[in-house]
Each structure stands twice: as structure tokens, then as C-alpha cells.
A = this chain, B = another copy of it.
């Protein structure tokens, strides 16, 4: 390839990729205040206007970068039992979020979304999809009859993700594997207390 003095029309996709990659890389770096459009553009080898042409604001770029990076880990989970699904999902999610660059990324993204409406909307959308995954897991348990009646599933879901974000944002406590397993069991106690008779294994619904 090589040279390409500097300009040209047909760059579109490469530029888009470069921008998102640069944004994600910078998001994963330490300082959330050093996140300027200029820096992203420079790292991507792109004009600043090219960013503003496609995204409404800085936050929107960052969110899209984050979504792309985090969106890949969506592997369907179905162990056949609620506790199994929860353990799988939560340990995987906690492990991902406790990776240092990813944690920085999450913090930066939240910081951005609190300042920028576009980013806020995008983060809301992103988190909604994550909650859907958990809701589906709980839905399958319900179909199997595992769930007690009258459980507020939204409350359960927000406890899980709330704990994840709370610890990530504040950093007072790590997102350990142990806490993921503990959380899984705690949630089951709330929604399907009977299924924990033999811990780790669901009781047959009988």
C-alpha cells in the first residue's frame, strides 16, 4: 500500500474502523480526562471533521467503540438450570469487567455518558441489551417453573448489574469470581429458594 500521500475519497470504512479502534484504545488507557477528539483523530490518522460527520458528539464515538469491543462476548448460555446459567453468565461478565483496561473503559464510558446526551442514550441502549440477556435466562427458568411467584425480575436484574457497575465505578471491592458465584446463589435464593436444596444443583421441580 504504502504511500497514499494523504487524501482520497474511498476511505470510508477504513477510517471508521480506525476511529473506533483508536477510541477504544484510548478509552482503555488510564486518564479519562485525556480523551479528546483531537487525540482520537490523530491516533486514527483521520481528520477531525470525519468524526463529526458520522457521530453527533465525542461521547457517541466512545460508546460505539465500547459497544463494538464489548459486544462480541455474547455467547448464548443455557446450562439447563437457573443457578447454572447465572453462574456462567455472572462469572463471565465479572471476569470481563474486572480486566483492568475494560474496567477503565467502562468508567470512561460512564463518565462520558453523564456529560453527553448522545453517549447517555447509547449507554442506556447498551445496558438494556445486557439486561435482556439476564432477563432471558430468568425467563427460561420461569418457563421451567423454577421461579417463585410475584418476583420483580427488573429488581433482580438491576441488583446484579448494579453491583457490577457500583464496584467498577468506585473500585472499593474487586469483582472476584467468588463474588460472582455468591451473587448467583443470592439471586436464586430470592427468586427460586427451593432450587438450592442441594447447592449448585437444582432440585428437580418435582
Contact = CB atoms under 8 A, between A and B. Distances in A.
A138 to B, nearest CB: 13
A114 B41 CA distance: 23
B165 A166 contact: yes
Interface residues of A, number: 44
A80 interface: no
A16 interface: no
B124 A114 contact: no
Contact of A179 (B155, B163, B186): B155
Interface in A54-92: none
Contacts of A107: 114
Given A111-B114, A190-B190, A7 B6 contact: yes
